Structure 1
Amino acid sequence: MRAGGLLATGVAVTAATSAPARASHPAAVLPLLTWHAALANRRYAPAVVAVLGSSSSEGVGASGHGRGYVSVLTENLRTAFPVAGAPGGDNYVAAWGTPRWWPVTGGGTRVNTAGWGLKAVDLGGPGESLTYTFAGTSVRVWHEGSPEIVVDGRTVVVRGPGRIHGFATFDGDEEKGIQVYNGGHGGRTSGDFASRPAAWAPRLRSMQPHLVILQLGVNDWRIGVSAAEMKRNLVAIIATVRANTVTSPSFVIYGTPRVGADHRVQDYTGFTEAWREIAAEDTGGPGGASGVAYFDLAARQLSPSSDNHHGLYCEDLVHMSDRGAAFTADALLSFIRP
C-alpha cells in the first residue's frame, strides 16, 4: 500500500518455506570477489551485506541505536563508496531488540525462533501493536499472517494478528547504493542458526546478499560447545546461505579476541583455529577456490580479558563500547574494501 508517499509491503514467510590489513595476494582477495564486483556496480544496483551474529552484532554495549559496529560499518561503507541520491536507510530493524534504545515500541510476545536474526514478535489481535518511526523514502514490513499496517508520514503502526519480523527501511537505496541487513541477536550460538534454517534463510531470497558476515562462536565457547561442533555449524550456515541465494556471495568469518575475565576449560585457540580452517578449506568460491575470508580482530587489538586500557570493551569485558564498535567497524572496512 502507499500512504504519505511511502511504501509499506508485507512478505509472508512460513516455516515450510521458510591480522593486519589484508594483503593483496590473490589467495586473500578472491574470496571477496563477489562483494568487490557488487560494490563496483553500486551505482546501478544495490551492493548488499547481510550479517548473522550475536550480541556484538546486535549492538549490545553501545550507548544508543546506530552505535554498534554493524551500523558504523554501514556508515563507513557509504562514506567510502558514496552513490548520488542514495544516502541509504537503516535497511533492517528487527521487531525487538535492546529495550533501552530500540526504535520499535509496543506489545506482543517476543519470539526467538523465527525471522532474520531469529527475532520476531507475535501480535495476538488488534489490541496488540508495534510502532516504528523512520527516516527515509520507503519502508517494508516483514511479516507472516495478515496484520493491519498503517503508515502516517514516517510512522508505521502494525496491529495484529500476525507475526512481525521487522522493518526494512530505505533512503534512496531501493535500487542502488549499499544495503546492510543486521541479523545480530544477543546470546545466540552457531547452533541456534544451524538448527533453524527455515526460520531465517527464506529472507535471503529478498535480500540476495553479495557479502555475508558471520560473527558467531564466542557464545559457543562460553557455554561449552566444542570448536569442532561450532565449525560444523558455521559450515552448515554457509551452505544454507548458498542454497537460498543466486548471488554466490562472499563470506567473512569474524574471529574475535578472547573476551571475559573468566577462565574456561576449553582452549580458546581451538576456536580461532576452527575459524581459520573454515576459510582455508572452503571450495565454494570463484573457480572452486575459497569463498570465505577470515577477519581476525584479535590480530588488531589485545584481548579485553588481559588488557582493556584503550576502553574498547565495556566493564563486563565482553561487549564493545562505542569506541570499540567504531574500532571494529574501521578494521572491517579496511579488510573488505577492494
Structure 2
Amino acid sequence: MINLERFNHKKELQKYWQGIIKEHEKENLLTFKAESQSKKIIKIPTKDIPETSQLQHKLKENLRRVRNDMDNSSIKFIKKKKQKQDENMDHYMLLANDVFHFAVVYEDLIEGDIISLVKFLKIRLSTRSRMSLSSANEPVLQAIVELILPSQYHVPELCLIMNNIKKKGNGRFGFVDIFVLGEEIKKNYISIELKYISLVGLVRNIYGEQTKELKELNANELKELDEKLEREDEEILLKKPYVYYSKEVNEWKKTTIGEVLNNGIKQLERYIDVIAKGQATKNSTGIYDERIKIVNSSNSNTILGFVILVVGFRRIIWKSINEKSTNYKYSKK
C-alpha cells in the first residue's frame, strides 16, 4: 500500500516538472526569436539601385576612406613630391632651351651666319668669375666654343699637312681650331680660328713685367678694365699694344690686337686652301686626321672661314674670309 502511494506521488511530481520545463522552453524560444529579429539586417539588392547611384556611392566611399587614411605626414609628402616634380620640370625646360639654342647656332653657322654663335659665346663668357680673368687663355676659349657646338658635327684641332717638305716642328703641320661639318643636304664646311687677348697682356711691357702706368691689377680692377674695353671703339682697340709669351722662340713678343687679328685671318686662309685639297698624301698637302672621312663629291661644296677674337670676357671681334670651293665631302668616321 505504501509502495503504491509512493509510485503515484512520484508520477505526479514527474508530470509537474515536465510541465515546468515545457513552459521554460517556450519562453526561451520566444526570446531567441525576438533577439534574432532585432539583429537581422535588411539588405537591398544592388541590382535594384540605379548604376549611376551605385557609382556615386562607391566614389563617396572611396573618397571617405582615402580622407580617413591620409594624415598630415602623407599630405606633406605629396606636396614635397609635387614640388620636386615642378623643380625637375623647370630643370628639363632649361636644358631643352639650351639644346634649342645650340641647334640654332649650328644651323645658322653652316648657312654662313656667325651672329648666333657670337651672341651665345658672349653669354657663356659673361657667366665666368672675374677671378679667372687673369688666367683665361685660348684653350679655355676653345673649350667654351666646343661646348656650344654639337659634338657629332665638329672636329677640334683638325690636323693638316701644310708643307710636306718641312719636318715636324718646323712648319710641317697646322691645326684648325674647330672644323664644323655641314649636314647631308647643306654641304657647307666651316673653319674657325680662335684668338684670345688676355687683359694681363695689355698691361705688360716687352719684358713681360707690369708697366709702371698700370701696376698689377686685382680681380676687381681687371673687371673694370674688361667693362671699359667692351665700350672701346674698335679702331682704337685694335691699335692697343699687346705682349704675350711665344713658346716657339721662348721669349716675350710685342704686337697689337690688330696684328693678332690679321695674322689669324692669314693663317686661316692658308688652312682653308689646304683643306680644299682633300686627303694628304706622301707627296702632297691636305688633311691628315684619322677622325675625318674624305670622299669625292659630284657637286662642288663650300668651305667658309671665321676668325673670332675675344678680349677679356666682354669684347668679341669677328671677321669672315673668302670662301673656298672643294670637290670633296667631309664627315666624321
Identify whether the pair has TM-score above 0.5, normalized to the shorter chain: no
Q: TM-score, normalised by structure 1?
A: 0.20
Relative contact order (C-alpha < 8 Å, sep 6+): which is higher? Answer: 1
Q: Answer 1 or 2: which has greater helix percent.
A: 2
